Structure 1
Protein backbone atom coordinates (compact mmCIF):
# COMPACT_ATOMS: atom_id res chain seq x y z
CA UNK A 1 0.00 0.00 0.00
CA UNK A 2 1.09 3.57 -0.67
CA UNK A 3 1.78 6.22 1.94
CA UNK A 4 -1.24 8.15 0.65
CA UNK A 5 -3.49 5.13 1.13
CA UNK A 6 -2.26 4.63 4.69
CA UNK A 7 -2.79 8.30 5.52
CA UNK A 8 -6.33 8.50 4.13
CA UNK A 9 -7.31 5.25 5.85
CA UNK A 10 -6.15 6.64 9.18
CA UNK A 11 -7.93 9.95 8.55
CA UNK A 12 -11.18 8.16 7.72
CA UNK A 13 -11.14 6.21 10.97
CA UNK A 14 -10.38 9.29 13.06
CA UNK A 15 -12.91 11.48 11.24
CA UNK A 16 -15.68 8.99 11.93
CA UNK A 17 -14.84 8.91 15.65
CA UNK A 18 -14.49 12.69 15.82
CA UNK A 19 -17.74 13.23 13.94
CA UNK A 20 -19.63 10.99 16.33
CA UNK A 21 -18.24 12.93 19.27
CA UNK A 22 -19.29 16.23 17.66
CA UNK A 23 -22.78 14.91 16.99
CA UNK A 24 -23.33 13.59 20.51
CA UNK A 25 -22.05 16.82 22.05
CA UNK A 26 -24.44 18.78 19.84
CA UNK A 27 -27.35 16.60 20.93
CA UNK A 28 -26.43 17.32 24.55
CA UNK A 29 -26.35 21.09 23.97
CA UNK A 30 -23.76 23.61 22.84
CA UNK A 31 -21.67 25.83 25.08
CA UNK A 32 -19.95 28.82 23.42
CA UNK A 33 -16.38 28.91 24.68
CA UNK A 34 -15.10 32.11 23.08
CA UNK A 35 -15.02 34.35 20.03
CA UNK A 36 -12.00 34.54 17.75
CA UNK A 37 -11.44 37.07 14.97
CA UNK A 38 -14.82 38.76 15.35
CA UNK A 39 -17.95 38.56 17.49
CA UNK A 40 -19.62 36.27 14.94
CA UNK A 41 -16.56 33.97 14.78
CA UNK A 42 -17.26 31.61 17.66
CA UNK A 43 -15.65 28.51 19.08
CA UNK A 44 -17.60 25.97 21.09
CA UNK A 45 -16.39 23.66 23.80
CA UNK A 46 -17.06 20.84 21.34
CA UNK A 47 -14.61 22.34 18.80
CA UNK A 48 -11.86 22.08 21.38
CA UNK A 49 -12.84 18.62 22.57
CA UNK A 50 -13.09 17.20 19.05
CA UNK A 51 -9.74 18.68 18.03
CA UNK A 52 -8.12 17.25 21.16
CA UNK A 53 -9.45 13.81 20.22
CA UNK A 54 -8.14 14.08 16.66
CA UNK A 55 -4.75 15.30 17.83
CA UNK A 56 -4.46 12.49 20.37
CA UNK A 57 -5.39 9.80 17.84
CA UNK A 58 -2.93 11.12 15.27
CA UNK A 59 -0.16 11.32 17.87
CA UNK A 60 -0.81 7.71 18.88
CA UNK A 61 -0.70 6.46 15.28
CA UNK A 62 2.03 8.74 13.84
CA UNK A 63 4.01 10.35 16.65
CA UNK A 64 6.58 11.96 14.36
CA UNK A 65 4.10 13.98 12.29
CA UNK A 66 3.34 17.67 12.73
CA UNK A 67 -0.06 19.15 13.45
CA UNK A 68 -1.90 22.35 12.47
CA UNK A 69 -5.38 22.77 13.93
CA UNK A 70 -7.88 25.60 14.01
CA UNK A 71 -8.28 25.60 17.79
CA UNK A 72 -4.90 24.53 19.17
CA UNK A 73 -2.52 25.84 16.53
CA UNK A 74 0.55 24.11 15.23
CA UNK A 75 3.22 21.74 16.37
CA UNK A 76 6.27 20.69 14.37
CA UNK A 77 7.10 17.05 13.86
CA UNK A 78 10.19 15.08 12.95
CA UNK A 79 8.66 13.73 9.76
CA UNK A 80 7.81 15.63 6.57
CA UNK A 81 4.06 15.13 7.14
CA UNK A 82 1.73 17.64 8.82
CA UNK A 83 -1.94 17.07 9.64
CA UNK A 84 -4.15 20.08 8.93
CA UNK A 85 -7.40 19.85 10.88
CA UNK A 86 -10.69 21.68 11.29
CA UNK A 87 -12.56 19.77 14.00
CA UNK A 88 -15.94 21.33 13.22
CA UNK A 89 -16.05 23.28 9.97
CA UNK A 90 -19.25 25.29 10.08
CA UNK A 91 -19.23 26.11 13.80
CA UNK A 92 -22.01 28.70 13.55
CA UNK A 93 -24.23 26.13 11.82
CA UNK A 94 -23.29 23.68 14.55
CA UNK A 95 -24.16 26.13 17.31
CA UNK A 96 -27.56 26.88 15.77
CA UNK A 97 -28.44 23.24 15.19
CA UNK A 98 -28.06 23.40 11.40
CA UNK A 99 -26.71 20.02 10.23
CA UNK A 100 -24.35 21.50 7.63
CA UNK A 101 -21.05 21.05 9.46
CA UNK A 102 -18.15 18.67 8.99
CA UNK A 103 -14.92 17.27 10.34
CA UNK A 104 -12.03 18.06 7.97
CA UNK A 105 -8.68 16.23 8.20
CA UNK A 106 -5.84 16.46 5.69
CA UNK A 107 -2.27 15.21 5.53
CA UNK A 108 0.21 17.39 3.66
CA UNK A 109 3.92 17.14 2.89
CA UNK A 110 6.22 20.11 3.24
CA UNK A 111 5.58 23.53 4.71
CA UNK A 112 1.99 23.56 6.06
CA UNK A 113 1.01 26.61 4.03
CA UNK A 114 -1.42 26.55 1.09
CA UNK A 115 0.53 26.81 -2.12
CA UNK A 116 3.66 25.46 -0.46
CA UNK A 117 2.43 22.06 0.66
CA UNK A 118 1.77 18.89 -1.33
CA UNK A 119 -1.59 17.48 -0.25
CA UNK A 120 -1.45 13.71 0.20
CA UNK A 121 -4.77 12.77 1.78
CA UNK A 122 -8.00 14.46 2.76
CA UNK A 123 -11.25 13.51 4.47
CA UNK A 124 -14.42 15.55 4.99
CA UNK A 125 -17.08 13.87 7.11
CA UNK A 126 -20.53 15.24 7.89
CA UNK A 127 -21.81 13.25 10.86
CA UNK A 128 -25.49 14.22 10.71
CA UNK A 129 -25.90 13.21 7.07
CA UNK A 130 -23.35 10.40 7.38
CA UNK A 131 -21.48 11.26 4.18
CA UNK A 132 -17.73 10.70 4.09
CA UNK A 133 -15.74 12.30 1.27
CA UNK A 134 -12.13 11.20 0.92
CA UNK A 135 -9.22 11.52 -1.47
CA UNK A 136 -5.63 10.36 -1.73
CA UNK A 137 -3.12 11.90 -4.11
CA UNK A 138 -3.25 10.05 -7.42
CA UNK A 139 -6.07 7.76 -6.30
CA UNK A 140 -9.14 9.87 -7.04
CA UNK A 141 -11.85 11.39 -4.87
CA UNK A 142 -14.63 9.32 -3.37
CA UNK A 143 -17.92 9.55 -1.52
CA UNK A 144 -18.01 6.27 0.33
CA UNK A 145 -17.37 3.69 -2.39
CA UNK A 146 -18.49 5.92 -5.26
CA UNK A 147 -15.81 7.70 -7.26
CA UNK A 148 -16.42 11.40 -7.75
CA UNK A 149 -16.06 13.59 -10.83
CA UNK A 150 -16.77 17.27 -11.29
CA UNK A 151 -19.42 18.21 -13.81
CA UNK A 152 -18.05 18.00 -17.32
CA UNK A 153 -20.40 20.63 -18.71
CA UNK A 154 -22.53 23.50 -17.51
CA UNK A 155 -25.98 23.89 -19.01
CA UNK A 156 -27.37 26.96 -20.79
CA UNK A 157 -29.04 28.21 -17.59
CA UNK A 158 -25.58 28.79 -16.11
CA UNK A 159 -23.53 27.42 -13.25
CA UNK A 160 -24.72 26.58 -9.76
CA UNK A 161 -22.16 28.31 -7.55
CA UNK A 162 -21.40 28.53 -3.84
CA UNK A 163 -19.69 31.17 -1.76
CA UNK A 164 -19.25 32.38 1.80
CA UNK A 165 -18.69 35.56 3.77
CA UNK A 166 -16.00 36.41 6.27
CA UNK A 167 -16.85 37.23 9.87
CA UNK A 168 -15.44 40.77 9.72
CA UNK A 169 -18.23 43.19 8.71
CA UNK A 170 -15.63 45.40 7.02
CA UNK A 171 -15.12 42.75 4.32
CA UNK A 172 -18.81 42.38 3.43
CA UNK A 173 -19.02 45.22 0.86
CA UNK A 174 -16.13 43.66 -1.07
CA UNK A 175 -17.78 40.24 -0.93
CA UNK A 176 -21.00 41.68 -2.33
CA UNK A 177 -19.08 43.44 -5.09
CA UNK A 178 -17.47 40.14 -6.02
CA UNK A 179 -20.86 38.42 -6.19
CA UNK A 180 -22.16 41.22 -8.40
CA UNK A 181 -19.30 40.54 -10.83
CA UNK A 182 -19.74 36.77 -10.78
CA UNK A 183 -23.49 36.39 -11.12
CA UNK A 184 -24.35 38.08 -14.46
CA UNK A 185 -23.83 35.79 -17.42
CA UNK A 186 -22.23 32.98 -15.38
CA UNK A 187 -24.45 31.78 -12.54
CA UNK A 188 -27.90 30.26 -12.58
CA UNK A 189 -28.02 30.58 -8.78
CA UNK A 190 -25.86 30.94 -5.69
CA UNK A 191 -25.68 28.90 -2.49
CA UNK A 192 -24.18 29.89 0.86
CA UNK A 193 -23.93 26.82 3.07
CA UNK A 194 -21.57 27.92 5.84
CA UNK A 195 -18.94 25.18 5.56
CA UNK A 196 -16.05 25.66 3.14
CA UNK A 197 -15.01 22.02 3.49
CA UNK A 198 -18.45 20.86 2.37
CA UNK A 199 -18.69 23.45 -0.42
CA UNK A 200 -15.43 22.12 -1.85
CA UNK A 201 -16.63 18.53 -1.42
CA UNK A 202 -19.81 19.38 -3.29
CA UNK A 203 -17.81 20.78 -6.20
CA UNK A 204 -15.93 17.48 -6.31
CA UNK A 205 -19.24 15.59 -6.26
CA UNK A 206 -20.80 17.68 -9.03
CA UNK A 207 -23.39 19.19 -6.70
CA UNK A 208 -21.89 22.62 -7.36
CA UNK A 209 -20.20 23.76 -10.55
CA UNK A 210 -17.92 26.16 -8.70
CA UNK A 211 -17.11 27.83 -5.40
CA UNK A 212 -15.33 31.06 -4.48
CA UNK A 213 -14.59 32.77 -1.19
CA UNK A 214 -12.13 35.13 0.46
CA UNK A 215 -10.39 34.78 3.78
CA UNK A 216 -10.20 31.01 4.26
CA UNK A 217 -7.62 29.53 6.63
CA UNK A 218 -5.45 26.52 5.75
CA UNK A 219 -7.64 24.11 7.72
CA UNK A 220 -10.75 25.29 5.85
CA UNK A 221 -9.45 24.15 2.48
CA UNK A 222 -6.74 21.53 2.97
CA UNK A 223 -8.91 18.43 2.56
CA UNK A 224 -11.51 19.93 0.24
CA UNK A 225 -9.06 21.30 -2.30
CA UNK A 226 -7.56 17.83 -2.75
CA UNK A 227 -11.04 16.40 -3.26
CA UNK A 228 -11.64 18.93 -6.05
CA UNK A 229 -8.43 18.27 -7.94
CA UNK A 230 -8.64 14.49 -7.55
CA UNK A 231 -12.19 14.68 -8.96
CA UNK A 232 -10.87 16.42 -12.07
CA UNK A 233 -11.59 19.99 -11.00
CA UNK A 234 -9.33 23.00 -10.76
CA UNK A 235 -8.37 24.92 -7.64
CA UNK A 236 -6.68 28.30 -7.39
CA UNK A 237 -5.66 30.56 -4.53
CA UNK A 238 -4.23 34.07 -4.51
CA UNK A 239 -2.97 36.51 -1.88
CA UNK A 240 -3.86 39.97 -3.28
CA UNK A 241 -1.47 42.09 -1.25
CA UNK A 242 -2.37 43.11 2.27
CA UNK A 243 -6.10 43.44 1.65
CA UNK A 244 -8.26 42.30 4.59
CA UNK A 245 -10.25 40.36 2.00
CA UNK A 246 -7.28 38.13 1.13
CA UNK A 247 -6.77 35.35 0.33
CA UNK A 248 -9.18 34.41 -2.45
CA UNK A 249 -9.84 30.82 -3.51
CA UNK A 250 -11.72 29.50 -6.53
CA UNK A 251 -12.61 25.85 -7.17
CA UNK A 252 -14.61 24.71 -10.18
CA UNK A 253 -15.11 22.35 -13.05
CA UNK A 254 -12.63 23.16 -15.83
CA UNK A 255 -15.65 24.14 -17.98
CA UNK A 256 -16.05 27.42 -16.06
CA UNK A 257 -12.90 27.80 -13.97
CA UNK A 258 -11.24 30.50 -16.06
CA UNK A 259 -14.41 32.57 -16.32
CA UNK A 260 -15.14 32.26 -12.60
CA UNK A 261 -11.55 33.05 -11.62
CA UNK A 262 -11.57 36.17 -13.79
CA UNK A 263 -14.93 37.40 -12.51
CA UNK A 264 -14.00 36.79 -8.88
CA UNK A 265 -10.67 38.58 -9.30
CA UNK A 266 -8.32 35.62 -8.92
CA UNK A 267 -6.52 36.52 -12.16
Structure 2
Protein backbone atom coordinates (compact mmCIF):
# COMPACT_ATOMS: atom_id res chain seq x y z
CA UNK A 1 0.00 0.00 0.00
CA UNK A 2 1.06 3.57 -0.66
CA UNK A 3 2.44 5.55 2.25
CA UNK A 4 -0.25 8.10 1.38
CA UNK A 5 -3.10 5.68 2.06
CA UNK A 6 -5.50 6.58 4.83
CA UNK A 7 -4.57 4.56 7.95
CA UNK A 8 -8.16 3.42 8.50
CA UNK A 9 -8.00 1.17 5.43
CA UNK A 10 -5.06 -0.83 6.76
CA UNK A 11 -6.48 -0.87 10.29
CA UNK A 12 -9.85 -2.16 9.09
CA UNK A 13 -8.23 -4.78 6.85
CA UNK A 14 -6.02 -5.96 9.71
CA UNK A 15 -9.04 -6.22 12.00
CA UNK A 16 -11.03 -8.12 9.37
CA UNK A 17 -8.20 -10.58 8.72
CA UNK A 18 -7.65 -11.31 12.41
CA UNK A 19 -11.36 -11.71 13.15
CA UNK A 20 -11.88 -13.93 10.10
CA UNK A 21 -9.04 -16.29 11.08
CA UNK A 22 -10.23 -16.40 14.68
CA UNK A 23 -13.90 -17.09 13.95
CA UNK A 24 -13.06 -19.78 11.39
CA UNK A 25 -10.76 -21.54 13.87
CA UNK A 26 -13.44 -21.67 16.58
CA UNK A 27 -16.68 -22.41 14.76
CA UNK A 28 -18.13 -25.05 12.46
CA UNK A 29 -19.37 -24.40 8.94
CA UNK A 30 -22.93 -24.58 10.21
CA UNK A 31 -22.24 -22.02 12.91
CA UNK A 32 -20.48 -19.67 10.51
CA UNK A 33 -23.43 -19.80 8.10
CA UNK A 34 -26.12 -19.31 10.74
CA UNK A 35 -28.36 -16.30 10.07
CA UNK A 36 -28.13 -13.89 13.02
CA UNK A 37 -30.49 -11.17 11.76
CA UNK A 38 -31.49 -9.33 8.59
CA UNK A 39 -28.87 -6.71 7.86
CA UNK A 40 -29.33 -3.04 7.05
CA UNK A 41 -29.25 -3.91 3.35
CA UNK A 42 -32.25 -6.22 3.76
CA UNK A 43 -30.34 -9.48 3.27
CA UNK A 44 -29.63 -12.14 5.91
CA UNK A 45 -26.49 -11.60 7.98
CA UNK A 46 -24.43 -14.71 8.67
CA UNK A 47 -22.57 -15.18 11.93
CA UNK A 48 -19.22 -14.86 10.14
CA UNK A 49 -20.32 -11.50 8.66
CA UNK A 50 -21.38 -10.08 12.02
CA UNK A 51 -18.22 -11.10 13.87
CA UNK A 52 -15.87 -9.68 11.24
CA UNK A 53 -17.94 -6.51 10.84
CA UNK A 54 -17.83 -5.77 14.57
CA UNK A 55 -14.03 -5.90 14.54
CA UNK A 56 -13.94 -3.52 11.56
CA UNK A 57 -16.34 -1.05 13.18
CA UNK A 58 -14.25 -0.94 16.35
CA UNK A 59 -11.07 -0.33 14.36
CA UNK A 60 -12.56 2.38 12.14
CA UNK A 61 -14.47 4.32 14.76
CA UNK A 62 -11.43 4.34 17.06
CA UNK A 63 -9.75 6.37 14.31
CA UNK A 64 -12.66 8.79 14.11
CA UNK A 65 -14.15 7.50 10.84
CA UNK A 66 -17.82 6.77 10.11
CA UNK A 67 -18.73 3.28 8.88
CA UNK A 68 -21.38 2.26 6.37
CA UNK A 69 -21.66 -1.53 6.32
CA UNK A 70 -24.19 -4.05 5.04
CA UNK A 71 -25.02 -5.57 8.43
CA UNK A 72 -25.15 -2.66 10.89
CA UNK A 73 -25.72 0.06 8.33
CA UNK A 74 -24.72 3.61 9.23
CA UNK A 75 -22.39 4.11 12.20
CA UNK A 76 -21.95 7.87 12.49
CA UNK A 77 -19.18 9.41 14.59
CA UNK A 78 -19.61 12.86 13.06
CA UNK A 79 -16.75 12.66 10.56
CA UNK A 80 -16.57 13.89 6.96
CA UNK A 81 -14.84 10.57 6.20
CA UNK A 82 -16.83 7.34 5.83
CA UNK A 83 -15.60 3.79 5.34
CA UNK A 84 -18.01 1.96 3.02
CA UNK A 85 -17.25 -1.66 3.77
CA UNK A 86 -18.19 -5.19 2.85
CA UNK A 87 -16.75 -7.13 5.81
CA UNK A 88 -16.94 -10.55 4.14
CA UNK A 89 -17.83 -10.47 0.48
CA UNK A 90 -18.53 -14.05 -0.52
CA UNK A 91 -20.01 -15.01 2.85
CA UNK A 92 -21.37 -18.31 1.57
CA UNK A 93 -17.91 -19.21 0.28
CA UNK A 94 -16.33 -18.24 3.58
CA UNK A 95 -18.76 -20.26 5.66
CA UNK A 96 -18.39 -23.31 3.43
CA UNK A 97 -14.61 -23.23 3.45
CA UNK A 98 -14.26 -22.14 -0.19
CA UNK A 99 -11.25 -19.75 -0.22
CA UNK A 100 -12.94 -17.04 -2.28
CA UNK A 101 -13.98 -14.23 0.04
CA UNK A 102 -12.73 -10.69 0.63
CA UNK A 103 -12.73 -7.72 2.93
CA UNK A 104 -13.38 -4.73 0.71
CA UNK A 105 -13.75 -1.05 1.51
CA UNK A 106 -13.77 2.36 -0.10
CA UNK A 107 -13.19 5.67 1.62
CA UNK A 108 -15.68 8.45 0.93
CA UNK A 109 -14.73 12.01 1.86
CA UNK A 110 -17.73 14.34 1.87
CA UNK A 111 -19.53 11.76 -0.26
CA UNK A 112 -16.79 11.32 -2.87
CA UNK A 113 -14.88 8.05 -3.16
CA UNK A 114 -11.16 8.76 -2.86
CA UNK A 115 -9.39 5.43 -2.27
CA UNK A 116 -10.11 1.76 -1.78
CA UNK A 117 -8.62 -1.48 -0.50
CA UNK A 118 -9.60 -5.09 -1.12
CA UNK A 119 -8.03 -7.92 0.86
CA UNK A 120 -8.32 -11.61 -0.03
CA UNK A 121 -9.18 -13.08 3.36
CA UNK A 122 -7.71 -16.51 2.60
CA UNK A 123 -4.25 -15.15 1.77
CA UNK A 124 -4.36 -11.54 3.07
CA UNK A 125 -3.12 -10.36 -0.33
CA UNK A 126 -4.17 -6.70 -0.68
CA UNK A 127 -4.89 -4.31 -3.54
CA UNK A 128 -5.03 -0.55 -2.94
CA UNK A 129 -5.65 2.38 -5.25
CA UNK A 130 -6.68 6.00 -5.05
CA UNK A 131 -9.03 7.73 -7.46
CA UNK A 132 -5.97 9.13 -9.27
CA UNK A 133 -3.34 6.42 -8.83
CA UNK A 134 -3.09 2.65 -9.25
CA UNK A 135 -0.19 0.23 -9.49
CA UNK A 136 -2.31 -2.09 -11.68
CA UNK A 137 -3.41 -2.14 -15.30
CA UNK A 138 -6.34 -3.90 -16.90
CA UNK A 139 -5.93 -6.22 -19.89
CA UNK A 140 -6.97 -3.39 -22.21
CA UNK A 141 -9.40 -5.62 -24.09
CA UNK A 142 -11.96 -3.63 -26.06
CA UNK A 143 -14.07 -6.39 -27.64
CA UNK A 144 -16.20 -9.16 -26.19
CA UNK A 145 -14.81 -11.60 -28.74
CA UNK A 146 -12.11 -13.56 -26.92
CA UNK A 147 -12.92 -12.03 -23.54
CA UNK A 148 -12.80 -13.81 -20.19
CA UNK A 149 -15.88 -12.67 -18.25
CA UNK A 150 -17.00 -13.42 -14.70
CA UNK A 151 -20.71 -13.23 -13.87
CA UNK A 152 -23.03 -13.39 -10.92
CA UNK A 153 -25.26 -16.45 -11.00
CA UNK A 154 -28.38 -15.99 -13.14
CA UNK A 155 -31.83 -15.23 -11.71
CA UNK A 156 -35.21 -15.89 -13.27
CA UNK A 157 -35.55 -12.34 -14.58
CA UNK A 158 -32.17 -12.12 -16.28
CA UNK A 159 -31.54 -15.56 -17.73
CA UNK A 160 -31.74 -14.31 -21.32
CA UNK A 161 -29.25 -11.51 -20.69
CA UNK A 162 -26.98 -13.87 -18.78
CA UNK A 163 -27.04 -16.23 -21.74
CA UNK A 164 -26.22 -13.46 -24.21
CA UNK A 165 -23.14 -12.40 -22.23
CA UNK A 166 -22.00 -15.98 -21.62
CA UNK A 167 -22.52 -16.87 -25.27
CA UNK A 168 -20.50 -13.92 -26.52
CA UNK A 169 -17.54 -14.41 -24.16
CA UNK A 170 -14.68 -16.84 -24.77
CA UNK A 171 -14.48 -17.90 -21.12
CA UNK A 172 -16.96 -17.62 -18.25
CA UNK A 173 -16.38 -17.84 -14.49
CA UNK A 174 -18.75 -17.68 -11.52
CA UNK A 175 -16.71 -17.12 -8.36
CA UNK A 176 -19.31 -15.82 -5.93
CA UNK A 177 -17.17 -12.89 -4.78
CA UNK A 178 -17.79 -9.62 -6.62
CA UNK A 179 -14.96 -7.67 -5.03
CA UNK A 180 -12.37 -10.30 -5.95
CA UNK A 181 -13.78 -10.42 -9.48
CA UNK A 182 -13.29 -6.65 -9.73
CA UNK A 183 -9.68 -6.98 -8.56
CA UNK A 184 -9.04 -9.54 -11.29
CA UNK A 185 -10.30 -7.04 -13.88
CA UNK A 186 -8.15 -4.23 -12.47
CA UNK A 187 -5.03 -6.42 -12.53
CA UNK A 188 -5.63 -7.83 -16.02
CA UNK A 189 -6.33 -11.41 -14.90
CA UNK A 190 -9.87 -11.16 -16.29
CA UNK A 191 -11.42 -8.87 -18.89
CA UNK A 192 -14.77 -8.15 -17.25
CA UNK A 193 -17.14 -8.92 -14.42
CA UNK A 194 -20.88 -8.27 -14.65
CA UNK A 195 -24.21 -8.60 -12.96
CA UNK A 196 -26.20 -9.37 -16.11
CA UNK A 197 -29.24 -7.32 -15.17
CA UNK A 198 -30.38 -8.95 -11.91
CA UNK A 199 -29.92 -5.77 -9.84
CA UNK A 200 -28.12 -7.68 -7.10
CA UNK A 201 -25.22 -5.31 -6.43
CA UNK A 202 -25.32 -3.04 -3.40
CA UNK A 203 -23.18 -0.01 -2.66
CA UNK A 204 -20.48 -1.98 -0.82
CA UNK A 205 -20.25 -4.59 -3.60
CA UNK A 206 -19.08 -1.95 -6.08
CA UNK A 207 -17.54 0.85 -4.00
CA UNK A 208 -13.96 -0.43 -4.16
CA UNK A 209 -14.30 -1.27 -7.85
CA UNK A 210 -15.48 2.28 -8.53
CA UNK A 211 -12.04 3.47 -7.39
CA UNK A 212 -9.72 0.60 -8.30
CA UNK A 213 -10.88 -0.21 -11.82
CA UNK A 214 -11.07 3.27 -13.43
CA UNK A 215 -7.70 4.16 -11.86
CA UNK A 216 -6.28 1.04 -13.54
CA UNK A 217 -7.57 1.98 -16.98
CA UNK A 218 -10.95 0.26 -16.92
CA UNK A 219 -14.58 1.22 -16.39
CA UNK A 220 -17.20 0.54 -13.73
CA UNK A 221 -20.78 1.40 -14.72
CA UNK A 222 -24.37 0.27 -14.18
CA UNK A 223 -25.83 -1.85 -17.00
CA UNK A 224 -28.83 0.45 -17.23
CA UNK A 225 -26.97 3.76 -17.04
CA UNK A 226 -27.90 4.65 -13.48
CA UNK A 227 -25.31 6.74 -11.63
CA UNK A 228 -23.25 4.95 -9.03
CA UNK A 229 -22.79 7.22 -6.04
CA UNK A 230 -22.32 7.27 -2.28
CA UNK A 231 -25.69 6.88 -0.56
CA UNK A 232 -26.44 5.62 2.97
CA UNK A 233 -29.69 4.14 1.64
CA UNK A 234 -28.68 0.48 1.44
CA UNK A 235 -31.88 -0.57 -0.31
CA UNK A 236 -30.52 0.81 -3.60
CA UNK A 237 -29.36 -1.76 -6.13
CA UNK A 238 -27.28 -1.77 -9.31
CA UNK A 239 -26.28 -4.20 -12.06
CA UNK A 240 -22.57 -3.53 -12.06
CA UNK A 241 -20.46 -3.83 -15.19
CA UNK A 242 -16.73 -3.86 -14.48
CA UNK A 243 -14.64 -3.97 -17.64
CA UNK A 244 -11.07 -3.59 -18.86
CA UNK A 245 -12.03 -0.64 -21.09
CA UNK A 246 -14.99 1.71 -21.56
CA UNK A 247 -15.52 0.13 -25.00
CA UNK A 248 -15.94 -3.35 -23.55
CA UNK A 249 -18.22 -1.98 -20.82
CA UNK A 250 -20.45 -0.40 -23.46
CA UNK A 251 -20.73 -3.66 -25.40
CA UNK A 252 -21.61 -5.58 -22.23
CA UNK A 253 -24.27 -3.02 -21.29
CA UNK A 254 -25.84 -3.41 -24.73
CA UNK A 255 -25.91 -7.20 -24.35
CA UNK A 256 -27.45 -6.97 -20.90
CA UNK A 257 -30.00 -4.21 -21.37
CA UNK A 258 -31.81 -5.66 -24.37
CA UNK A 259 -35.22 -6.79 -23.16
CA UNK A 260 -34.44 -6.44 -19.44
CA UNK A 261 -36.59 -4.25 -17.19
CA UNK A 262 -34.49 -3.20 -14.17
CA UNK A 263 -37.68 -2.51 -12.20
CA UNK A 264 -39.11 -5.99 -12.78
CA UNK A 265 -39.60 -8.17 -9.73
CA UNK A 266 -38.56 -11.75 -9.29
RMSD: 2.8
Q: Work out which of the residue numbers 121, 132, 149 in structure 1 matches 2:126.
A: 132
Return closer, same or farther for 1:14/1:189 CA change in 2, 3 Å cut-off.
same
- Deviation at 1:183? 2.8
1:12/1:134 contact within 8 Å kept: no
1:174/1:245 contact within 8 Å kept: no
Structure-2 separation of matches of 1:21 and 1:76:
22
- Deviation at 1:180? 1.6
Return closer, same or farther for 1:27/1:216 CA change in 2, 3 Å cut-off.
same
- Deviation at 1:187? 0.3
Question: Which residue does 1:108 correspond to in 2?
Answer: 108
Structure-1 separation of matches of 2:90 and 2:77:
28
1:215/1:245 contact within 8 Å kept: no
Unaligned runs of 5+ in 2: 227-234, 261-266
Question: Which residue does 1:85 correspond to in 2?
Answer: 85
Deviations 1:220-260 (A, max 9, x none): 1111221111111011025689xx99521111011522211
2:131/2:212 contact within 8 Å kept: no
Return closer, same or farther for 1:202/1:156 CA change in 2, 3 Å cut-off.
closer
TM-score by length of 2: 0.80
Question: Which residue does 1:180 correspond to in 2?
Answer: 163
Give runs of aligned pairs for residues 1-267 of structure 1, distance below 5 A.
Answer: 5-7=4-6, 9-29=7-27, 30=29, 31=31, 32-34=34-36, 36=38, 42-61=44-63, 63=64, 65-111=65-111, 118-140=112-134, 147-153=135-141, 158-165=146-153, 172-184=155-167, 186-213=168-195, 214-237=199-222, 247-254=238-245, 255-265=247-257
Higher strand share: 1
1:212/1:264 contact within 8 Å kept: no
Which moves more between the two structures, 121-130 or 83-92? 121-130
Unaligned runs of 5+ in 1: 112-117, 141-146, 167-171
1:66/1:75 contact within 8 Å kept: yes
- Deviation at 1:13? 3.3
Deviations 1:86-112 (A, max 9, x none): 11110000111101001112111334x
- Deviation at 1:57? 1.0
1:105/1:223 contact within 8 Å kept: yes
Structure-2 separation of matches of 1:156 and 1:249:
16
- Deviation at 1:156? 9.0
Structure-2 separation of matches of 1:263 and 1:245:
23
